[in-house]
Structure 1
Amino acid sequence: MLFRQLEYFVALARERHFARAAAACYVSQPALSEALRKLEHELGVPLVRRGRTFEGLTPEGERLVLWARRILADRDALEHEVRALQTGLTGDLRIGVIPAASGTVALLTDPFCTAHPLVRMRVETSLRSGDIVERIRRFELDAGIVYGDGVDTAGLTRTPLYAERQVLLAATDLLAGRSGSITWAEALELPMCLLHKGMRGRDLIDDALVPSGLVPAPQLETDSVVSLLAHVSTGRWACVVPQPWLTIFPPPAGVRVLCLDDPAVTAGIVLVTPAVDPGSVLVKALIETARTAGIDDTLRRSAQRRES
């Protein structure tokens, strides 16, 4: 009964609405409210500030929700470990992925699912690094693929996956007389579309260009790498994308790829997971896959074949 009460309480803290929390838990609103009142009675403190609608958690409730998430995560980890001893790994694994890695996440998830066919994976690919890290700390995600810098990962385990480099894509007609590489000063003279400011992939570019005094001023901005590729395929735009994307999605017909130099813009992509002991056997298995899958080598060989 306690676990169910904690599940209802965590759902209410997440949804901040009684009816939505009840729907998320597949119970009626009166049943959820009654369970929470019993939890408050058992603990001897008010947890929810009630009015005509949900008005938030009390200070005691804010503290309890941290423990509730941890208790439920530990319960799930225990159940997974017990089942693993009997039938192998089973259960659900939730992974948050930054948009820049949404094209390469299969290099991790595919070998993991092959090795552990009874595990179900849910991958969210529209999150930013900071959001992923925060949701891991709240036990709402089991793991995340994020940029290795620019985000506070204190208290989490970091497993390097690969290094990405930004490259230029443009139609052959826009790159007349150019081959191999191009400087940023030259690239920014082209009709450019880039990721939105504030996205880490864009911030990497802006920060790297500060010492040279260059400031990108693209006519078009988007929050999607797929959208960048769609625009460059028209033949009228140039864009900048992480090179690993081209391993999964080859450049459109008539589009060339040039290395961007002066400076080269690179970043490390890492897997972040909770640093708890004993921890989840599913997360441990994911870390082992990340260490042995050779993702960085795969991407490097692919880039070399494309350049040769």
Structure 2
Amino acid sequence: MNARHENEADLKGSLRLALSPVAMTITSLLTAPFAERHPGITISVQCKTMPEIERGIKEFEYDVGVTYLDGLTLGGLRPYTLYDEAYYLLVPKDHFLSDRETIDWLEVGGLPLCLLSPNLHNRVIIDRIFASVGATPKAVIETNCSLGLFAHMRTGNWLTIVPHSYFYLLGDWLFIRSIPIVNPSTTATIGLVIHERDPISPNVRAFVEVAQQAAIGKQLDRYRT
């Protein structure tokens, strides 16, 4: 075993992660390779809003955040890009829209939707896109839980909008069809944030290294339909 691997195996202690709700879907793409390389470190994963993540990193409540980089408002945070998420309309396989290859945001705005809560940044982004095309979405149901989106979509009474990172969990669920939403084809960047300080703690530095090597964007592209 070379010196580098000996040092990696010697890392001990804990690592506290705070992730935005939409980023929870890709957690294992980060934690699994990290835990394999650094088995001596225990990992805590919390689901938090963007303001909670920013404040928690600044106040040393969390070591690493995973969230939207475009919505950061506090200084003193160091960002690392992971991937750009794209948006899809999810419909049941027997829905009248299920054979569509694409759908415009303006048309989606006229459909009965179940969306994430307005205080979550994913919803802020979606509302911003709708506003850019002059649409006001019909958010009949709002929830802060992604499982609530899937549950209501499956009934056929409501549809939902998700980032393509969700396909890592959805896989080949046969009752779902995903339709890319275009005009505009918009993306938002998800990344790591850590406290801007020097030196960085060994555990945080090790996690950033693993995350950068994981090529999350390329991994998620394999799950696009």
Q: TM-score, normalised by structure 2?
A: 0.91
**In structure 2, how many angstroms separate the alpha carbons of the residues matched to 1:197 and 1:109?**
29
Cα shift at 1:101: 0.4
Of the three residues 188, 193, 203, the one matched with 1:267 is 188
Offset from partner CA, 1:49-98 (integer Å, 9 cap, x none): xxxxxxxxxxxxxxxxxxxxxxxxxxxxxxxxxxx969611101000000
**In structure 2, how many angstroms separate the alpha carbons of the residues matched to 1:282 and 1:162?**
22
Residue pairs, 1:224-303, within 5 angstroms: 224-250=145-171, 252-303=173-224
Q: Cα–Cα, structure 1 residues 159 and 177, in superposed 2: closer, same or farther, change >3 Å? A: closer
Contact (CA 8 Å) 2:79, 2:191: kept in 1 or not?
yes
1:100 paired to 2:22:
yes
Q: Cα–Cα, structure 1 residues 85 and 182, in superposed 2: closer, same or farther, change >3 Å? A: closer
Paired residue secondary structure (1:279): coil
In the other structure, the counterpart of 1:89 is 11
Tell me which amino acid in the other structure corresponds to 2:101. Answer: G
Cα shift at 1:291: 1.1
Paired residue secondary structure (1:175): coil
What do you get for the CA RMSD once the two structures are aligned? 1.8
Residue pairs, 1:79-228, within 5 angstroms: 88-125=10-47, 127-176=48-97, 178-228=99-149
**In structure 2, how many angstroms separate the alpha carbons of the residues matched to 1:203 and 1:131?**
16
Paired residue secondary structure (1:210): helix
**In structure 2, how many angstroms separate the alpha carbons of the residues matched to 1:105 and 1:86?**
21
Contact (CA 8 Å) 2:92, 2:98: kept in 1 or not?
no
Contact (CA 8 Å) 1:166, 1:240: kept in 2 or not?
yes
Offset from partner CA, 1:4-26 (integer Å, 9 cap, x none): xxxxxxxxxxxxxxxxxxxxxxx
Offset from partner CA, 1:110-133 (integer Å, 9 cap, x none): 1000100110000001x1112101
Offset from partner CA, 1:251-291 (integer Å, 9 cap, x none): 64322100001122321001001121122100000110111
Contact (CA 8 Å) 2:20, 2:66: kept in 1 or not?
yes
Contact (CA 8 Å) 2:17, 2:64: kept in 1 or not?
yes
- Normalized per residue, which structure has more helix? 1
Cα shift at 1:200: 0.6
Q: Cα–Cα, structure 1 residues 86 and 242, in superposed 2: closer, same or farther, change >3 Å? A: closer
Q: Cα–Cα, structure 1 residues 176 and 139, in superposed 2: closer, same or farther, change >3 Å? A: closer
Q: Cα–Cα, structure 1 residues 86 and 119, in superposed 2: closer, same or farther, change >3 Å? A: closer
Tell me which amino acid in the other structure corresponds to 2:161. Answer: V
**In structure 1, how many angstroms separate the alpha carbons of the residues matched to 2:98 and 2:219?**
31
**In structure 1, how many angstroms separate the alpha carbons of the residues matched to 2:15 and 2:94?**
46
5+ residue gaps, structure 1: 1-83
Paired residue secondary structure (2:17): strand
Identity %, equivalent residues: 33
Cα shift at 1:294: 1.0
Tell me which amino acid in the other structure corresponds to 1:184. Answer: W
Cα shift at 1:165: 1.1
Contact (CA 8 Å) 2:98, 2:177: kept in 1 or not?
no
Tell me which amino acid in the other structure corresponds to 1:98. Answer: S
**In structure 2, how many angstroms separate the alpha carbons of the residues matched to 1:122 and 1:95?**
6
Q: TM-score, normalised by structure 1?
A: 0.68
Paired residue secondary structure (1:106): helix
Offset from partner CA, 1:145-185 (integer Å, 9 cap, x none): 01011222521211111111111001233334742111122
